[in-house]
Structure 1
Amino acid sequence: MSAALTAASKLDSILHLNFQKLSQEYPPLQSFLQEGHIDFWNEDAVLTLTKAILKVYFALELCLPKNRLCPMVPNRVLYLDYVQKLLQSTMDDFDNEKVTGLDIGTGASCIYPLLGCRLFSFSFLGTEIDSSSYDAACSNVSDNHLEDKIRLENRCKTDALLSSCPTGQEFTFVMCNPPFYGSDEELINYKDSLPNSVCTGNENEMITEGGEVEFARRILRESKYRREILWFTCLLGKKSSLADLIHDLRDEKIDNYGIYEIYAGKTKRWILSWSFSNRRPPNHLIRPKFFSIPKLLPRKTLYEWNVTMDKQTFFDVLNGFLDNMNVQYSYLNYEKIVVFSNGISWSRKARRTGKHQNPSQTSIKDGFRCTISYDNFKGQSCWKEGNDYLVYESFCSTLHRKYKESYPS
């Protein structure tokens, strides 16, 4: 069973917990059950439940100090699962490449590195500014015998957030669950309004100057000098934070970004991701389907058009169109064609000047790579690589028009 399938199976189990069954596998939980339910306002009950989930589903033994944040495991698994899918969609050989993550503010539990190692065999550097949390995190790593996969650094508030990779290589991704709040007053108002559970986090874990927006901005500012890192991500607790941060991304001309929503119980969080690479993730990883602020969304990577033919005819016709458009293409399998262009070669101007693709030229600085497939009387083009959306859009519009003109409905 692949790591992705294992993660999906475990995720489904912890999102639909049977407390009675879990308590049979982890007896210390039994004393906190009340008619098959857990009192989420009972701090000891929440700590014991978290330990039970980590032990039963992930074979992790954790020491969780009462005066530090008790991690909600489903949210953490959903975040890691998203990162895994994001990397898989934008790396050439994800299954065989070493993946190393930087977890900023790893906390006493060191939850993201520990789960990331168990679920996907990632390696990690975790940083922490609180000495007590750092000591607890070190103990959790050693107690689970993961010192060869996880390194930890005790940092200062004034240090750069984006540390150097201890292996001498570059990080593959950055993840961060920043403190949500900018003041004691904000935190008090939050705790007073909590509908679901007790909050055990201390000030360092919950409050930072400027709140989560300013913390994420620090990562963004530093990321401009660490472009070799494939993906930068932040888990945000406030939907309102997205507008400010996406405004900043657009100001920096960073168009390769994404928004992703995660749900665990009644809790909703938002992951903001961005990259300086030209690898483009699929729509479902960057554009929530029912997002209430569409103007914040990045450009679509999936272009669809209706056709009136069966699949075999669709591909037969497509071959002729692609030949006439002077682009390179090859069959990935019987279901999909990969198209490569190093510039606009299908316009009237390009044809007049005799511009053709050079098969030996592999750069797509001015072009793109995409896949084309057929799905139930729809043509689908998925943008995989490229810097200029307008070039890709021109190709898709031209292809759509050719189908429409040649085979009207």
Structure 2
Amino acid sequence: MPQKSQSAEKENLHPRNLHRGRYDFKQLCKTSPGLKAFVSINQYQDESIDFSNREAVRALNKALLKHFYNVDNWDIPPGYLCPPIPGRADYIHYIADLLNETQTGVAGNKIKVLDIGVGASCIYPLIGNSIYGWQFVGTDIDPDAIRSAKKIISTNKSFQDNIELRLQTGQNDIFKEVIKPGEVFDISICNPPFHASSQDAQAGTVKKWENLKGRSLSTQLNFGGKNTELWCAGGEAAFINRIIEQSVLVANQCKWFSSLVSKKDTLPIIYKTLKWVNAADVRTINMAQGQKISRVVAWRF
């Protein structure tokens, strides 16, 4: 008899994460009826979806965002990254802990967050505003991603006064132009492109499919992803180094800077850069979702 695919409690998620329990597909289907077509009984006799099916994953995300975060009509254009909601929520909660430790209060619209690479899904602003009431400015170099994020916000009145989207026209710029004179943020967040090339991204895709299905079936990610979302020259190490180097220029306009770091090997590289720019305080926050280990590195001047 097959063992259960997951425990009833995902203990490695943040204690405040709303997704520590198993997905209640009956309730999620009531919230978002479009999910029902993708739900079936798996080999463990549990209700689930086929996580190798991009449409199923998108329908699940739509239901989770509606049920837990009151987001209506969430959708993304074909081919864009469909983010795993529990892991994205974890980043927000750990950032809340950091802010709570280092400044007074973390709830309400007095907290202002800059999301570098907000993406078509607008996922971090939606979760962060829904849970904590924070204000967000989301930036991206992709005009289509900005249009998608704006469309999501336009159909959700409760978010319209708290989430602003700005196009970054400088291909190598992080903060220039998108931070206005006199504007101050409590923290910047970023989920950087992971891979160093399109070939690396494709190889990672094949490995993910093998993990899902036990064999190589496709070179398309079940959660999608455009080139700018998946890879950049030098991978995440180069991208995070660029954030660090340019953060010096806006040190008086952002109290904290942060980024997800997927690869452990990236840490020594960025620690060296943080020492070079004389960061006054560097924090590393370990996170885990299932078998995936990642961390957030945060710094301030």
Residue 168 of structure 2 is aligned with which of 155, 158, 164? 155
Q: What is the TM-score when the length of structure 2 is the normalising length?
A: 0.83
> Are the counterparts in 2 of residues 108 and 133 from structure 1 also a CA contact under 8 Å?
yes
Aligned equivalent of 1:68: 80
Write the letter of the residue equivalent to 1:193.
K
In 2, the alpha carbon distance for the partners of 1:86 and 1:68 equals 30
Q: Tell me the secondary structure at the aligned position of residue 70 of structure 1.
A: coil
> Are the counterparts in 2 of residues 125 and 166 from structure 1 also a CA contact under 8 Å?
no
Residue 24 of structure 1 is aligned with which of 24, 27, 30? 30
Q: State the Cα deviation string for residues 106-128 of structure 1 (Å, max 9, x = none).
A: 00011111111111111111111
In 1, the alpha carbon distance for the partners of 2:222 and 2:121 equals 17
Are the structure 2 counterparts of residues 150 and 269 from structure 1 closer, same or farther at C-alpha, using a change threshold of 3 Å? same
> Are the counterparts in 2 of residues 260 and 270 from structure 1 also a CA contact under 8 Å?
yes
Cα deviation for residue 9 of structure 1 reads 7.7
> Are the counterparts in 1 of residues 80 and 225 from structure 2 also a CA contact under 8 Å?
yes
> Are the counterparts in 1 of residues 109 and 162 from structure 2 also a CA contact under 8 Å?
no
Q: Tell me the secondary structure at the aligned position of residue 224 of structure 1.
A: helix
Write the letter of the residue equivalent to 1:23.
C
Cα deviation for residue 56 of structure 1 reads 0.6
In 1, the alpha carbon distance for the partners of 2:197 and 2:51 equals 25
Query: Greater shift after overlay, 116-125 or 167-176?
Result: 167-176
| Cα root mean square deviation, aligned | 2.2
Q: State the Cα deviation string for residues 119-175 of structure 1 (Å, max 9, x = none).
A: 111111111111111110110111112221111111224353114545843111100
Equivalent residue runs for 1:78-93 within 5 Å: 78-93=90-105
Q: What is the TM-score when the length of structure 1 is the normalising length?
A: 0.62
Are the structure 2 counterparts of residues 260 and 10 from structure 1 closer, same or farther at C-alpha, using a change threshold of 3 Å? closer
In 2, the alpha carbon distance for the partners of 1:25 and 1:215 equals 38
Residue 202 of structure 1 is aligned with which of 226, 234, 241? 226
Q: Tell me the secondary structure at the aligned position of residue 249 of structure 2.
A: coil
In 2, the alpha carbon distance for the partners of 1:22 and 1:46 equals 13
> Are the counterparts in 2 of residues 104 and 176 from structure 1 also a CA contact under 8 Å?
yes
Are the structure 2 counterparts of residues 74 and 225 from structure 1 closer, same or farther at C-alpha, using a change threshold of 3 Å? same
Are the structure 2 counterparts of residues 126 and 97 from structure 1 closer, same or farther at C-alpha, using a change threshold of 3 Å? closer
Cα deviation for residue 44 of structure 1 reads 0.9
> Are the counterparts in 1 of residues 141 and 171 from structure 2 also a CA contact under 8 Å?
no
Residue 190 of structure 2 is aligned with which of 176, 183, 186? 176
Runs (5+) with no aligned partner, structure 1? 1-7, 277-409
Q: State the Cα deviation string for residues 67-115 of structure 1 (Å, max 9, x = none).
A: 1000111111000111111111101354578111111110001111111
Write the letter of the residue equivalent to 1:224.
V
Are the structure 2 counterparts of residues 14 and 144 from structure 1 closer, same or farther at C-alpha, using a change threshold of 3 Å? farther
Write the letter of the residue equivalent to 1:191.
T
Write the letter of the residue equivalent to 2:198.
D
Aligned equivalent of 2:199: 185
Are the structure 2 counterparts of residues 109 and 96 from structure 1 closer, same or farther at C-alpha, using a change threshold of 3 Å? closer
Aligned equivalent of 1:240: 265
In 2, the alpha carbon distance for the partners of 1:95 and 1:57 equals 18
Equivalent residue runs for 1:10-409 within 5 Å: 11-13=17-19, 15-35=21-41, 36-61=47-72, 62-95=74-107, 98-145=110-157, 146-158=159-171, 160-163=173-176, 164-166=178-180, 168-194=182-208, 195-196=211-212, 198-228=222-252, 229-276=254-301
> Are the counterparts in 2 of residues 108 and 132 from structure 1 also a CA contact under 8 Å?
yes
Q: Tell me the secondary structure at the aligned position of residue 84 of structure 1.
A: helix
> Are the counterparts in 2 of residues 125 and 165 from structure 1 also a CA contact under 8 Å?
no
In 2, the alpha carbon distance for the partners of 1:252 and 1:99 equals 26
Q: State the Cα deviation string for residues 216-242 of structure 1 (Å, max 9, x = none).
A: 111101111222221100012212111
In 2, the alpha carbon distance for the partners of 1:135 and 1:112 equals 16
> Are the counterparts in 2 of residues 47 and 70 from structure 1 also a CA contact under 8 Å?
yes
Cα deviation for residue 13 of structure 1 reads 3.5
In 2, the alpha carbon distance for the partners of 1:74 and 1:95 equals 20
Bigger Rg over Cα: 1
> Are the counterparts in 1 of residues 107 and 133 from structure 2 also a CA contact under 8 Å?
no
Q: Tell me the secondary structure at the aligned position of residue 125 of structure 1.
A: strand
Q: State the Cα deviation string for residues 226-265 of structure 1 (Å, max 9, x = none).
A: 2222110001221211111112212333251111122223
